[in-house]
Amino acid sequence: MMGYKVGIYVRESRDDNDENYETIETQRDMLVDFVSKNGLGEVAAVYIDNNVSGTGFEREGLKKLEDDVKTRNINLLLLKDLSRLGRNNAKTLLFLDFLEEYGIRVLTTDGRYDSTKDNDMVGIETWFNERYAI
């Protein structure tokens, strides 16, 4: 099998400071390293939203990601964890559905989510991520 065209999405907000001690660059470098160590393919794009809350989905990096999905520039999205994508349960699940419609594999480095496997808990996890933001 050929490697993936990987899109890396990193987001950090002031609200995450208690939870995340690394910088946005450290988060990005960790994900790039994960792609290499796991032979996932090549990093086609890195999308960054720095100092932006995950409750809203009007984010610059997320818009670029959406455009690349529609133009098929990536076929795997790598995240540190699902809370990076969003902390709004309904919108996160809708965005995951959008990615699935385009055949994008979504993988988190925390090992808690891989869209190619059965993910009965994804709704509960996204709900929990939203609770954290309130």
Which residues are designated catalytic? 13
The amino acid sitting at 32 is: V
- The three-class DSSP label of residue 15 is helix
Residue 77 forms beta bridges with which residues?
Answer: 7, 106
Both tokens of 35, joined, read 């792609």
- Give the burial class of 124: count Cβ atoms within 10 A of its Cβ; 0-12 exposed, 13-18 middle, 19 or more buried: exposed
Taking the C-alpha atoms of residue 52 and residue 64, their distance in angstroms, rounded to an integer, is 15
Q: How far apart are CA 42 and CA 100, in angstroms?
A: 20
